[in-house]
Structure 1
Amino acid sequence: MRRRSADPVGAAREVGPGTVDRGRGGASTAANGDWLTLGRDGRLSLYAPADGGLVRWTETVAGGPGWSGPHFVPVAGLTHLTVVQGADTYVHFLGRRERVRADGGCGADVVHAIQYQTGLAFTEWRSLGNPHRDPEQGRELGPPAGAVAADGTVHVFVRNAGGGLSLRRELPSGKWRAWEDLRGGGIDGPPAPVALAGGRLEVCAAAASGTLVWRQTAPGGDFDGPRGFALRPVPGTVTALETGPERVTFFWTDAESGGAAAWREGDWPAALGGSPAGQGYASLRTAVDGYDCVVLAHRDRDGSVMLGMGGTENEAGGFWWYALAESCQGAPALARDGRGRVVMALIGPDGAPRVARQETGAGLSFARWHTLGH
């Protein structure tokens, strides 16, 4: 099992809100993954990349509305940030980092840190290296994607220089296995992994030849695949959500129609309509008026935020889209707060995070937007 540090600060020492440099208080864009997380104590936290590291805001009490922050966490050379959370509520930070090598060239690696408790410090950032020994190939490393298995094992996926998929994951002891080559080719967007409640993982990626899917044979086991499918997601728009026991639905923007699509292995893709996404979709499964629903949110190509909703695995019943009077950088995020309300977060064009909560009443609508201090 992973051992918790008695002083989990190390090189990622945080700065309190009273002493944060305001130039570092704003976000540079949205992070990838689940960058709005719910802690064990019922408080939400929001994370975003910033110049020289990342920034964090945290609810002062469960359910809000107050937030503390920004708290700045330095990470030199960070080019991409992905946030993932496990069932144990630990929050994992995966970054792609570039540094000057001893020979004067530029090298890239993947780094990892953990936040064990809401609002507290991070562990030290640990380098997970690079699947390539050749520095020039290593610079072609894609941004990391991640998922945490039901037993807490972290899985890190990256597009490698050959256009295939590489994986690094933990052993039960907490030590990391060597990089694994999961094969594949022509991947032209970030992979979309999902951890299932039963312990397995699945991964989907858009590729030049269509869609590639890898499935873990058993919890902790090897990955089968990739299996190729003649489907055409727009690169960078694929997301994954467990919509039934051991069933995954993948969502993306269809390259031909320009609208959203949902697909489960063994079924035909279902058109969901809407406008094309500029980045990936935020996805959440929740109850709305007593019905099991999937909620999607994305940034369309002109920067506006779109919200969609429909019955879980009932795409034929219709999917409804709403344009929100908000603009954002990167993809929005969705989560439930400590009172069970749906919360949406986005990074505004000015770098300030904004959040809105589900209003009481029928359907899914949001109360006024609240801008977090920066």
Structure 2
Amino acid sequence: MLVDERRTVYRLAADLFAPGTELSDNLADHPIVRYEIGRALAGAGELDLARMHEVAGLRVCDAGIAVAADPRSGFLLEAPLRIIAPPGVAIEPLTEADGDRFSAALQVVADGIRLFRSLAPVTADDLLAHVSMLAVLKRETSGGVVSASSRYVPGIVLIDEPSLPIEVAEALVHEGAHEKFFDLAITHEFLDARAEDVEFFETSWSHARWPLEQTFAAWHAYSCLAQFAQACAGVELGPDSLLPKAQERAAEIGAWLLAHEHELRPDARWLLRALAGETVAPSAVEGDAAEIEVDFHFRLHPDVRWRRTESGRMVVGRVGQWPEIFWLDADAGWVVGQLPADGSPIGVGGLTTGAIGRWTAVTDDPGRRLEVALASLLTNSIVERVS
């Protein structure tokens, strides 16, 4: 479900920049395609369709995950290699041009993925769904990077040239958790602009200081590593393993997040509590209500496009020089779904009748739910009143 929601976001974004563009699953999952779409959404340039199709031709080997093998990988994967490189370090990927050395690394990767799936099959299925590609770094160029991922180039995991399958398995838990968090962050309510103003978390083990987003991502990764550690009893770990420290660090970070959970959006609070073994009741309908009269009519704004996911959630985009994308809550999504796609208006009477039929069983005030939904849609210029 989460993967489908993420693909839906990227497909909508591509269509906003280049109407009529349809991304296959392979393109929608490709890390560099997602990077290019992200750059365009951030206003860093136009969407380069030619570049997207060029990187789609990057040759990979199947080791249970697509592993970059193309001799052009250093060029085609320039963005993640540059972003994760320590200062002054020029990281190079291993490719099939490296012959037996690449083949040996590929075998360790394949063994590591099989080990991961055998030790923790549920966790492996969950996290590996968010890893579209893996690149192995030449040990002499990695600059001490053991494993890495970046929210700017989601979907790709980079690992240092491995010696042991367990090193690969642990790296995929660690970075796979980050990749899943990246997908959660663009499809659910996790953080907003206020997160940049929250005090930093300082780790007790290195005294590094992290902003809220990095702190939450680290907590999620350490929580996943702590679960994986339980499955690794008796397994000889790599020299850089974080598994023995994962539970303690997850608890330390989690305690800080719980003390600052008022800074988190609802879905982040839910995940924080859920992994702590607590339940969180869904919040009541909140928000300002629009004042509507029986003779009002509304229509979808002409610059708006929308798509519905397999789960029923709706994501909308507004065309502009720099398109904007919004996830709608269930009520607002239902309202948009009632509006004719051709832009013709619909009266409040029709919407109210539908709202009563849909929501009466779960609320004693379906009219207010409709008013709140319309208010949010009007505020974000997704619908407009025409009379």
TM over 0.5: no
TM-score (norm 1): 0.29
Higher relative strand content: 1
Whose radius of gyration is greater, 1 or 2? Answer: 2
- TM-score of the two chains, using structure 2 as the length reference: 0.29
